[in-house]
Amino acid sequence: MDLQLSGRVAVVTGASKGIGLAVARTLAEEGARVVAVSRSRTSELPEGVLHVAADLMDPAAPARVVERAVEEFGGVDVLVNNAGGPPPGVTLPRVGFMTPDDADWLAMFEFNLFSAVRMIRAALPVMLERGGGSVVNVSSGMARQPGAMNVDYGAAKSAMNHVSKALSEEYGPRGVRVNTVSPGPVLTDWWTKPGGAADVIAGMAGGDRDAVIESAAPQMMRLVTGRLVRPQEVADAVALLASPRSGSTTGAEFAVDGGFLKEI
């Protein structure tokens, strides 16, 4: 299926690994001119993708990213707010409401909500000048599945969902669609890196990190597929929502979560 993305300019944040890298690759394969945003470049980005080094914890960074996209490619048609998860230097999961302090909460919202708000604020005027565009915000199933684990992260992503809905209502009539993709647990370095989630859970449960990834985590999170989500599966949903082929889809939330979310 032709996603009609050829020649469109797409900004993807958190594009050096995991979901963001998969999204950048997929959009590039579909012919988009991709601006990949991350603190450092990876050699895994496809040839022709423009990398812009930026730390989105810096409030001034989003405007600089959009300025560079306009300088290089003339505008922005697609914005994928994928940067998120544990803020730099933070390891998740954290268990219990009393565990994160004020600084933890502030860093979590800065990285998972405010960075996306600022990216949207910078990109919207450019999109409107071009007659519209598509914003895809990468949220999380934890936004609608509250619990004692990672409460600050879930709250930040819940706020992201609210912002997405509000934006879709305000800017849909002006040609900008805003949608959300909510992954479940995805097999990225959040889980696999030394000291990552698999090691943390293994330490809590007294088990083996490989067993956590292969069986314990899917069972604990009641994934009906029996495995963690693959980054490419999330990227495929993002690409479809970014595409003009989804022209009547706005204000929607797509769960790509292995059956994690049970609510109707």
Q: One-letter amino acid identity for 170?
A: E
Q: Which two tokens stand for residue 172?
A: 């849909």
Would you say the C-alpha torsion 206, 211, 217, 220 has a positive or negative sign? negative
In angstroms, what is the C-alpha Rg of the chain? 18
> Using DSSP, how many helices (H) and how many strands (E) does the chain show?
10, 7
Helix or strand (DSSP H, E) at 29: helix 18-29
Q: How far apart are CA 17 and CA 14, in angstroms?
A: 7
**What is each CA distance from 178 to 96, 151, 194, 210, in whole angstroms?**
32, 25, 35, 37
Q: How far apart are CA 191 and CA 66, in angstroms?
A: 31
Q: One-letter amino acid identity for 140?
A: S
Q: Is 153 a catalytic residue?
A: yes
Q: How far apart are CA 215 and CA 230, in angstroms?
A: 15
- Looking at 153, 171, 190, 191, which residue is catalytic? 153
Q: One-letter amino acid identity for 71?
A: E
Catalytic residues: 153
